[in-house]
Structure 1
Amino acid sequence: MIFKKTLVALATFAAISAVNAAEKLSVAATAVPHAEILEFIQPQLKENGVELQVRVFTDYVQPNTQVDQGRMDANFFQHQPYLTEFNSGRGTNLVSVIGVHVEPFGAYSSKISALDELKDGATIAIPNDPTNGGRALLLLQEAGLITLKDSSKITATPRDIAENPKGLRFHELEAATLPRVLNQVDMALINTNYALEAGLKPSEDALLLEGAESPYVNILVSHRDNKDSEAMQKLAAALTSEEVREFIREKYQGAVVPAF
């Protein structure tokens, strides 16, 4: 009996030790869809020896700053053009681990129901960061509303507009605030994560929406030093699993598109 109790105690101790030995991995993310996707794979990663800790941020600067300063292991919220611009402007050295999904960028309005209703001199709100602001202008150019001096410049600003036949007036605002100003402008170009948080349905509500071929793939990002760690690679594998592909397709119904 004593021998059996000893075996049970040892087995229990081993199980507790295995849980305690799980490597912790902290990831900064915006709430929708990034944190939701990470929370979906938490159980799978725990079984695989990784305790995933998700911290939600509401802006596009702190997640990178936190990783650069070593306060977080990775982040999941941005696309490569934004990361490239951030590294260049801030002197950071963050790297992409893997691409996960595309969030088709869209134009929304609470005042008009179609682009042809946009009046001369209409006010348009766009993100104030270089890559997403440029992305917004490229989408407007694709719709024929403006023409840029360099039609391929991904960091274009309103100063790069060559032709503006409707005399559209642009307001550059922090990306997270754009859903809140919809009733103050004629149209706003909003990143899908913020549109979803605000209860907008891109496939139904957007007046203009990028196609699935968008080059702006959202990526898992880390510091160069831990990109190839075992825990990071397990996270990358989980994010690009068939289970995640189906989760994205079923939950977001085209508002988020798998990129793998």
Structure 2
Amino acid sequence: MRKALTLIGTGLAAALALTACGGSDSTPSADATLDPANPTTITVGATPVPQGRILEFVDENLAKDAGIDLDIKEFTDYQTPNIALSDGSLDANYFQHLAFFDQQVADKGYDFEHGEGIHIEPYAGFSSKHQSVDDIPEGATVAVTNDPGNQPRALKMLEAEGLLAGIEDDSAALTLTDEQNPKGLKFEENQPEILVQLIDDPKVDLAIINGNFILDAGLNTDDAVIVESAENNPYANFLAWKAGDDNPAIAKLEELLHSPDVKKFIEETWPNGDVFPAF
């Protein structure tokens, strides 16, 4: 069950000395050591929605018969779940997509591996001032994440709507050229968990919000000005664990998270597409 709400100050990241190499996508093996009569407990970190809810569904409906028990720890930022996984406080985490994962591994030296994509939460742009993309004026102020693993995703969404051009995987909002930013948009960077608070800021024309924070704030993509396309979306969230960890309970959780039961749960819980399965 969900047993704790955890938020560690982001300053902890600077205090930790991390020495490890990059991750891969090999999965630990489940084997006959799992016993439903004596389930193996694993501690999994996740953002509350939708990851925490999906894990709760697994824990309450699938885990016991599979011989595992989930101790779910919730985090409300994007830095501490990987810190906790690296320092051994977690056995696995479930909150990130590949671009973010790769950036974290490269920047901080984490020695992690990951499984296959489980779900996708579309990015969306919200505005209290404008009703459509066509209403966004030249020189408008756009609030975006300061996270380099996610910022290009937001910029590509703006490109798809014709507001930017020539966006690359490593493009940054504050260094766009005139050719990339023909409307002269101004960008305000902030932590992703703060951006939802800027939707009603009179200085902000558009705020680009991460999917889990959209759900956590009770927002709906039906009310967004811009919504990221689901077609060929590469930003599926997955389960991650320490490299070389052959705990069969992790392999079993990876298996359960890709089960028909979980797919049905996602589709029925978020029927409007705020969250959709990646498998």
TM over 0.5: yes
Q: Distance in 1 between matches of 2:96 and 2:136?
A: 30
Q: Kindly state the Cα deviation for residue 126 of structure 1 after the two structures are TM-superposed.
A: 0.5
Q: Distance in 1 between matches of 2:197 and 2:162?
A: 26
Question: Contact 1:130 / 1:157 at 8 angstroms: preserved in 2?
Answer: no
Q: Which has the higher strand share?
A: 1
Q: Distance in 2 between matches of 1:125 and 1:20?
A: 51
Q: Distance in 2 between matches of 1:20 and 1:63?
A: 30
Please give the secondary structure, in 1, of the residue aligned with 2:74: strand
Alignment of 1:74-89 (within 5 A): 74-89=92-107
Alignment of 1:1-260 (within 5 A): 21-43=38-60, 44-148=62-166, 151-154=167-170, 156-161=172-177, 162-184=179-201, 185-202=204-221, 204-212=222-230, 213-226=232-245, 228-253=246-271, 254-260=273-279
Letter in 2 for 1:78: Q
Identity %: 38
Q: Distance in 2 between matches of 1:157 and 1:26?
A: 36
Question: Contact 2:36 / 2:66 at 8 angstroms: preserved in 1?
Answer: no
Question: Contact 1:46 / 1:52 at 8 angstroms: preserved in 2?
Answer: no
Question: Contact 2:126 / 2:224 at 8 angstroms: preserved in 1?
Answer: yes
Please give the secondary structure, in 2, of the residue aligned with 1:98: coil
Letter in 1 for 2:261: E
Q: Distance in 1 between matches of 2:173 and 2:113?
A: 25
Query: When the two structures are superposed, what TM-score results if normalisation uses the length of structure 1?
Result: 0.88
Q: Distance in 1 between matches of 2:153 and 2:180?
A: 17
Q: Distance in 2 between matches of 1:20 and 1:47?
A: 9
Letter in 1 for 2:199: L
Letter in 1 for 2:213: Y
Q: Kindly state the Cα deviation for residue 233 of structure 1 after the two structures are TM-superposed.
A: 1.1
Q: Distance in 1 between matches of 2:85 and 2:163?
A: 38
Q: Distance in 1 between matches of 2:198 and 2:156?
A: 21
Letter in 1 for 2:48: A
Q: Kindly state the Cα deviation for residue 174 of structure 1 after the two structures are TM-superposed.
A: 0.5
The alignment covers a number of residue pairs equal to 239
Q: Which has the higher helix share?
A: 1
Query: When the two structures are superposed, what TM-score results if normalisation uses the length of structure 2?
Result: 0.82
Please give the secondary structure, in 2, of the residue aligned with 1:89: helix
Deviation per CA, 1:94-150: give whole Å up to 9, x if none: 1112210111111111211111111222110001100211111111111111123xx
| CA root-mean-square deviation | 1.5
Q: Kindly state the Cα deviation for residue 154 of structure 1 after the two structures are TM-superposed.
A: 4.5
Question: Contact 1:23 / 1:231 at 8 angstroms: preserved in 2?
Answer: yes
Q: Where in structure 1 are there 5+ consecutive unaligned residues? A: 1-17
Letter in 2 for 1:25: I
Q: Kindly state the Cα deviation for residue 175 of structure 1 after the two structures are TM-superposed.
A: 0.5
Question: Contact 2:140 / 2:205 at 8 angstroms: preserved in 1?
Answer: yes
Q: Where in structure 2 are there 5+ consecutive unaligned residues? A: 1-34
Q: Distance in 1 between matches of 2:45 and 2:38?
A: 22
Letter in 2 for 1:137: L
Please give the secondary structure, in 1, of the residue aligned with 2:89: coil
Deviation per CA, 1:23-69: give whole Å up to 9, x if none: 11001100110000000010311222111011110000000010011
What residue is the counterpart of 2:23 in the other structure? none
